[in-house]
A and B are shown apart, each in its own frame.
Chain A
Amino acid sequence: MTTSWKDTLQNKMASDLERQIDIFEGQIELRKQGKLDEKVFAETRLRRGVYGQRYDNGQRHDGLQTRTLEFPSGDLVKGPDTHWDAPGMMRIKIPYGGMSVDQMNVMADLAEEYADDILHITTRQDIQLHYVHIDDTPDLMRRLAQVGITTQEACGNSVRNITACHLTGVCHDEKFDVSPYADALTDFLLGHDDIQDFGRKMKIAFSGCEEHACGLVKMHDIGFLARTVEKDGQEVRGFTVFVGGGLGTVPHQAKVLADFVAEDRILPLAQAISRVFARHGEKQNRNRARLKFLVSKLGLEEFRRLVMEELETLPADDRHAGYIDELDDYGEEPVRQGLTLNGEAVDDGFYDWYRTNVYKQRQSGYSTITVKLPLGDLTSWQMRQLADIAEEFVGDYVRTTVEQNIVLRWVSDKDLPEVYKRLNAVGLGSAGANTIVDITTCPGTDTCKLGIASSRGLTGELSKRLEAKRADLPKAVEELKIKVSGCFNSCGQHHVADIGFFGNSRRSGNHKVPHFQVVLGGQWQNNGGSYGLAIGAVPAKVVPDVLDTITRTYVDERLDDENFQAWVERKGKRAIKDMLTPFMTLPTFMEAPQMFTDWGDSRVYSISDIGIGECAGEVVSLFSIEISKAESAHFDALIALDEGDYELADQKAYQAMLLAARALVRTQFLDVGDDPDNIVNEFKTRFYDTQLFYDPFAKGKFGRFLLNRHENPPQQADKDFAHSTIDEAQLFIEATHSAEARVNGVITS
C-alpha cells in the first residue's frame, strides 16, 4: 500500500522542484533536531511560501485576558517567536493569475486536506490557504508541483508573484497580450542567483494599456506597460518601464525608468534592476529596504545610470531573448465556437449579472465573465464545480484577479445563460462584480499577524448592507470602488480606491476602540494613477454610517458627470473632514460597549488590567487635547497639498509630528517648551531610545520619521516629498496614540 505522497509523486514533477521540496523537508527535520538556526529556517520557509499566521507567537487575547496558547510543540519554533504547531498560511503563486482545470482541482483537494476548506484569492493573484500545519507543507508542495505550481519565492525577500491584467489578450484597449512576457519573466527570475540577496521583497506587474487599472503598474517596484513603436514601417513591441512604485505605509508613485524597452530586452533589464537593488538596497533597516526607497535615495537619474551600467556588464544568457521565438506559438484556443446570444431562455437575474459581470471580448462572439467571490473566498467544492464549468465552456483559460475574483475567459456568448445558471447553482453567480459591492479586503485581524482592525469583518458588513440596496444605488455610487486594509501596510490597496479604509485604534478610557482611517480620492484608473489621502479615523462600528454619509453627499452635490475624485477635490478636505467629525466622537465603554468590539468578533477589542469601574477615561486627558493639535496641523498639511503649496504642506506635516511628540513628552515632562530641538531631544531620550515608542512590528520606524525630518530638512519640498512627509506624519501620530496608550493606559493588547 502506498504510504506517502513523496513515493507516489516521485518523478511526476519537474526535477528541480522535486529536489527543492526534498531539501525543504530535510530542513524541517534539521530544525526539529535543533540543527538549523530558527532565523535561517524562517527565511527558508518564507521563500517557499510558508507564512506565519496570527497568534503563532502563542499569545491571544480572548476578550477577557491575554492567554498563552500551550502548543504541544513546546519550545520548538519555526522562526523567532513562532511556535511550530501554530497554524500557518500557505501562499501559492499563480503567475499572472492563470490557472488550469487540473490545477484548480488539485488546489481544491489541498484546501480540504490541509487547510480549512477555503481557497482565498489575494490582491497579488495568489491563492492562500490558512490554518496549515508546517509538517504538511512538503506534501502540499509536491501535490502542487505535480500540476506545475510552485510556492517558491511566494513570500520572503524575493520576487513575488508577477501579476498582469486578467483581461490581457481579450481586451479592447491593450496594445498586445502581455501574458507570455509575464510568463517568461516569471520563469527567468524564479530562483535566479541575482534575486537571492534582496533586503526586501520585489513586486512586478505587467499591464496591457495605460488608462485602465488592471495591471496597476504604477504601484509596483517594477512595472511593464505595453507599448508599440514604428520602426522602418514595422510595428515593434516593447514596454514603458516604471520603477520605484509601491503602497505600503508610505506610498510612492512609480517613475518612468525607460520610455521604451524592446520586448527582447526586458528580461536583462529586470535582471540589471535586481542586481542594483541587491547591491545598493538597504539591508539593515527593513522599513527602508524596498526599491522605492532606493530610487528616492539615489534619485532616478543615478538609479538609471547604475542600471544601464549593470546592463552592459551582464553575462550573456540565452534565456534573455530565448522566449521571443516562441511568442508566435502563444495563443489561447477557445473550446467552443463563438456564437452570439440570440434569444436563448435566461434565468431570473441574468441581465443584472450580465450588466456587471460580463465583459465583451474584442474577439467577436466571446465574453469574459467575472465570478464574484465574497471576501475573495470559495470552498473546495465550489472550486471543483468551477473547474467543471471551465472545462466544459472555456478550458484552461481561468484567471484570478487583483480584485480577488476569478474570471472565465472565452465563454461563447451563446453559452452565457447556461454558464450563469450553472454558476448560480453553486453559489457563484452573484452580480455586482467590479461595482461598489465588490469590495477588496486584506485578511486583517482574522489571520494576519500585523492586523489592527478587522478588515474582513468590516467588508462583510459593508457588502451585506450594500447588497441589500444594490438595486436602488445611483449609478455614480454603484461605480465606486471600496478597498479595505487591516492596517497601514496597504495589502488591501486602500490607497487606490475611491473610498479606502485602513485599520488603526484609539483609546477611550482604559480601552482601545477599533478604528478605520478614511482615505478618499485614490485612483484605480490609469494603473493606480494617484493615491488617496487620509482624512481622519472613525470608530469601526460607525464606518457603514460614514460610508452612507459620504456617498449620499457625493450624489447630492456632484455636478453633471463629475466623478468622485473631482468631487473630493472640489469639496476640499476641510469640508469633508467637517462632514466626518461628528462620527469621530468616542463614547465611554459604559455608554456604548458595542463600539469596543470589532466587526464579526464578539470579544471586547482590548481590555485593560484595570477594571471598567476604575476607568478614568471620562476625564479628557492633557494628551488628548495636545494630540488634537497635531491632528489639526496634519490636516492643514493636507489642505496645503491640495492647494499646491508643497513647502507649506511639508512644514505643516513636520509640525504635526513635533506637536505629537510634544504631546507625548508632556505626559512625562510638562516643561518641555516649544523649541523643536528640545522636543526632538526629549522625545528621543524618553521614548525612542528607550523603545517605548517602538511598534511591536515596525519597531522604531515611525519614530525615525520625525528624527530624520528634523535632522534633514529638504532644500525644497516638491509634491512627492510633501506627500511622503504627510503620510509619515499620519503614521507618526498613529504611533503616538499607541505609545501613549501603552505607556499610560495600561492596555494589554
Chain B
Amino acid sequence: MNAPKRLRVKLFVDNPEAVAVEKIVPVFQRWIQRGAIKNELLIDVADYKHVHHGPGILLIAHEGDYAYQFNDGRVGLSYTLKQHDSATLEEALSTALQRVLFAAQLVHKESQLKGLRIALDTIQVSLLDRLQYPHDGETIEQAQAAITALLASTADEVEVTAVEADSREPISFTVKSAKSLEHLIAPAEVNAG
C-alpha cells in the first residue's frame, strides 16, 4: 500500500504518575540543545498540557513530531511522521517505529525522568490520511494485513488488531508483541546523540 501522508505510532507509559508532565519540557529542550536525535531537524517545543486528552508536550521536528501525549486518555510517547519519502506503508511504519523506539530509549536514560517506564511491546499505529486511508472495512483489512506482514517478518508473536472507533477518526491499530520491539531500532539511530 502507498505510504500515508502522515502516520503516528504511540507507545504507552506504564506509570505516568512517576513524573509530572512539566518535567518533559526541559527534557525536550535539552534534546534540541544536544542534537540528541541525529538525522532529524529538531525545531521547537510546544506545550499543550492544558488540553484534555491532547498532544501534551510536543517536540516539533521537520520530519515528524515527538510527543509525550494524552490522546484517548492514555499517556504515551508518540512519533508522527510528517515529511518523508517512503513509498509504502511498510517503509513509513518502519521509519516511525524506529524513531519512537529510539526516543523511548532516550527517555529511559533521562535522569530527570527516572522511574518512568514506557512499555515497548505495545504500539498504537494511526494512519492520518483520509484520502488514501478512508475509514472503511476494506481499507482497514488491507492495512492490517500490510502491518501484520511487516511486523511478522521482524518480530515473533505479533498481534495486530484494528481499534474500533468512530468512522471520522483515523484508522488505528494496536500492535501487541510477546517481546519488546526494541530491536527494531536501526544501529545508526542507536548511535545517535
Interface residues of A (CB under 8 A from B): 1-2, 4-5, 8, 54-55, 60, 62-64, 69-72, 85-87, 105, 108-109, 112-113, 116-118, 130-131, 133, 374-375, 377-379, 381-382, 384, 426-428, 446-447, 456-457, 460, 463, 600-603
Contacts and interface: CB of A to CB of B under 8 A. Distances in A.
- Report, as a range, how many residues of chain B touch the other chain: 35 or more
Contacts, number: 107
Contacts of A69: 41, 43
Contact of A377 (B48, B58, B60, B71): B48
Given A113-B130, A118-B55, A87 B43 contact: yes
B54 interface: yes
B43 A116 contact: no
Contact of A602 (B29, B44, B82, B131): B29
Nearest to B35: A67
Nearest to A430: B52
B41 A87 contact: no
Q: Which 7 residue pairs across A and B have the least CB separation, nearest first? A: A427-B52, A602-B26, A374-B50, A379-B54, A117-B55, A62-B33, A602-B29
Contacts of A600: 25, 47
A60 B33 contact: no
A353 to B, nearest CB: 15
Interface in B17-58: 25-26, 29, 32-33, 41, 43-48, 50-55, 58
Contacts of A62: 29, 32-33
B176 interface: no
Contact of A601 (B25, B52, B170): B25
B109 interface: no
29 contacts: A62-B29, A62-B33, A70-B41, A72-B41, A87-B43, A108-B168, A109-B130, A112-B128, A112-B170, A113-B5, A113-B6, A113-B129, A116-B60, A116-B65, A118-B51, A118-B54, A131-B65, A377-B48, A377-B54, A379-B55, A382-B52, A382-B53, A426-B53, A427-B51, A427-B53, A447-B46, A600-B25, A602-B25, A602-B29
Given A55-B43, A600-B25, A109 B50 contact: no
A1 B60 CA distance: 32
A381 B43 contact: no
B141 interface: no
Contact of B131 (A8, A117, A382): A8
A131 B62 CA distance: 9
A169 to B, nearest CB: 29
Interface of B: 2, 5-6, 25-26, 29, 32-33, 41, 43-48, 50-55, 58, 60, 62, 65, 71, 82-83, 128-132, 166, 168-170
Contacts of A382: 51-53
B73 to A, nearest CB: 9
Contact of A426 (B26, B32, B50, B52): B52
Contact of B60 (A72, A87, A109): A87
Interface centre among B48, B71, B128 (most CB of A within 10 A): B48
B46 A446 contact: yes
Contacts of A601: 25, 29, 45
Given A63-B29, A72-B41, A116-B46, A384 B166 contact: yes
A379 B53 contact: yes
Contacts of A2: 131-132
B6 to A, nearest CB: 6
Nearest to B29: A602
A1 B1 CA distance: 11
Nearest to A86: B43
Given A2-B132, A113-B5, A131-B60, 17 more contacts: A1-B132, A60-B44, A62-B29, A70-B41, A72-B41, A112-B170, A113-B128, A113-B130, A116-B65, A117-B55, A118-B54, A374-B50, A379-B54, A381-B53, A382-B52, A460-B47, A603-B29
A378 B51 contact: yes
Given A87-B60, A427-B53, A428-B52, A131 B25 contact: no
